[in-house]
Amino acid sequence: MTERHAVTTMSPSAARILMAGTEPDERRSLRDALTTIGYDVVADASGGTQVVELANRLQPDLVMILLSAEQPDWLDATAKIIASVAPVVLIGDPSTDLGAIARDLKIAGALSRPARESDLLPVVEVALARHADMRDLRERAAELEDALETRKVVERAKGILMDLHGLSEADAFRRMRKTSMDNRKTMREVAEAILLSHDLQLGSDII
């Protein structure tokens, strides 16, 4: 995906951000900058365990972590948050290999210290857009997989009806569709019932 397609999918005022860092002054400065831009900073954490707990409880749109050598659990916390809660933007020292971390953990964005206010908006918005794109891709993949599985089940059930009742393929499908409409069941539910009944040698009682 190009930067051109990574347009803002969420206005700054709508995005809820959880931030974490070891230094209170740095957290305060970043909170002020994010709030000035228009983001809702829902909380900030001072340690890796705390930020994971807050992320799970508050379900933010994005987590921003200020990496610190004094907090070795930051990267472990980052991995846990990315896996189950929200995209993460990391801010690290210039000497930190953020590129390697990004590849290993699939973080949504990264900035080197000092993080300038002018850099925050594009990084956060691109991170949110990329996360939304990935979520949409996963959802579409799940829908396609479900549709394929439904088709397989329906085809198997249709074949059973054709064998049991000497029906044509079209007639078997029409019978399943009528059963689906009459009983307010999906075609997959009807097909699964036929397969289950057939396995129990009671297929003729389903339709």
Mean pLDDT to the nearest integer, 98-105: 76
Mean pLDDT to the nearest integer, 73-96: 81
Residue from 166, 74, 65 nearest 124 by CA:
65
As a dihedral over the C-alpha atoms of residue 158, residue 164, residue 167, residue 172, rounded to 10 degrees, the angle is -30
Whether the predicted pLDDT of 138 surpasses 80: no
Q: What is the reported pTM? A: 0.59
Task: Report helix, strand or coil for 164.
Answer: helix
In the chain, which residues fall in CATH 1.10.10.10? Answer: 142-205
Whether the predicted pLDDT of 98 surpasses 50: yes
Q: In what order do the strands lie in the sheet with 16-20?
A: 40-45, 16-20, 62-66, 88-92, 109-112
- One of 3.40.50.450, 3.40.50.2300, 3.10.20.30, 1.10.238.10 is the CATH number of 12-138, namely 3.40.50.2300
Whether the predicted pLDDT of 199 surpasses 50: yes
Residue from 73, 69, 65, 11 nearest 43 by CA:
65
> Which one-letter amino acid corresponds to residue 87?
P
Percent helix / strand / coil, the chain, rounded to 5: 60, 10, 25
Mean pLDDT to the nearest integer, 11-33: 82
- One of 3.50.7.10, 3.20.20.150, 1.10.760.10, 1.10.10.10 is the CATH number of 142-205, namely 1.10.10.10
Mean pLDDT to the nearest integer, 70-94: 80
In the chain, which residues fall in CATH 3.40.50.2300? Answer: 12-138
As a dihedral over the C-alpha atoms of residue 46, residue 50, residue 52, residue 57, rounded to 10 degrees, the angle is -120
